[in-house]
Amino acid sequence: MYKVPVGVLGASGYAGRELCGLIAQHPGLQLAFASANEQRGQRVRIGSSEVTYVAADDAPLSKAEVVFTALPHGAAATWVGNARATGARVVDLSSDFRPGAATGASAFTTPYGLTELMRATIPGAEIVANPGCYPTAVLIAIAPLITEGWIVPGATINVSAASGVTGAGYSPRPDLLFAEVAEDFRAYSVGNEHRHLAEMRAVIAKLGGDNDILFTPHLLPVARGILATITVPVKEYVENPAALWRDSYDGEPFIEIADQPPSLKDVVRRNVVRLSVAKAANMRQPTLIIIAAIDNLVKGAAGQALQNANVLLGLEEQTGLPA
């Protein structure tokens, strides 16, 4: 099988390394380069493969048909431009081109790679804005409710979510040291202050929703995984609400509607969103509780980036992805 050459800029962070590991197992891709400025020249083992880092300036951008940019938010835009200048198509894992982003292009001028919801916009894209980890879990969970008009108009979608520490990146911050995180649990960006909110609001609006979202993220003492607990006031209870999601995502290989609430163990190292739906008992206001779980580094970052690359390149969407 011909292997499409691809490159990774920013390959020493958690998402970048995950991407290199997945590319190594992808039957249709080969890694042309992996950049990491501080570790340039180092040879590292990632999963069962090995990678030698180059400086970004030395990366042979022209050799790659697709370049993945896994650079810090704000730093990606320049390198996306550099890669585009060589004719490569780009999947950008930063927030720079996402809807609602402070920098970069405005809402949805760059195709937004939440593949299951926006698959049609991707094949012709020059740049795909790969979604944030929290938005991936939350938006897949609530999209059917919005498009089917189940939510009480104007009501607040309430999201309490928790992420493993790789979501904070491979940053030597004192508050991310083992002895600080272990045996602890804390909320952050409390008060609806998280930068993923603009991205979620933009997509909710694009899907036709007219609801506020209240989002409180937490830091979990685990390495990887996101669990989002979402409560949504609905107009009425139906017998079997999960059927809405089963219908909406019928045939989607990476979305699982579970009978029991998913846990992180169900999804780590897999490119899936797994979710459950329950009716809240003893409530005057009918309210659904959706629990959605993803691996923040796979479906929340590197796996979804490869899923988008598969679509970009006209490959079978599931190719090389761990479901």
Query: Which residues are annotated as catalytic?
Result: 133
Long-range contacts of 117-123 (CB under 8 A, 24+ apart): 117/143, 117/203, 117/207, 119/311, 122/308, 122/311, 122/312, 123/311, 123/312, 123/314
By rule CB under 8 A, what string of x and - marks binding of each residue 233-262 to a copy of itself?
Answer: x---------------------------xx
Long-range contacts of 57-60 (CB under 8 A, 24+ apart): 59/7, 59/9, 59/33, 59/35, 60/7, 60/32, 60/33
- Kindly state whether residue 1 participates in binding a copy of itself, applying the rule CB under 8 A: no
Considering only the stretches 75-83, 122-130, 270-278, 310-318, report the one whose residues sit in contact with a copy of itself under the rule CB under 8 A. Answer: 270-278
Question: Which of 130, 101, 286, 114 lies closest to 202, judged by CA?
Answer: 101
Binding positions for a copy of itself, 40-69, rule CB under 8 A = 45, 48
CB of 126 or CB of 180, closer to a copy of itself: 180
Token pair, residue 281, equals 């008992």
- Kindly state whether residue 13 participates in binding a copy of itself, applying the rule CB under 8 A: no
Considering only the stretches 27-35, 61-69, 97-105, 212-220, report the one whose residues sit in contact with a copy of itself under the rule CB under 8 A. Answer: 212-220
Binding positions for a copy of itself, 181-210, rule CB under 8 A = 181-188, 190-193, 197, 201
Binding positions for a copy of itself, 107-166, rule CB under 8 A = 154, 156, 158, 160, 162, 164-166
**Shortest Å distance, C-beta 318 to a copy of itself:** 11
- Kindly state whether residue 24 participates in binding a copy of itself, applying the rule CB under 8 A: no
Secondary structure element (H or E) that encloses residue 286, with its range: none
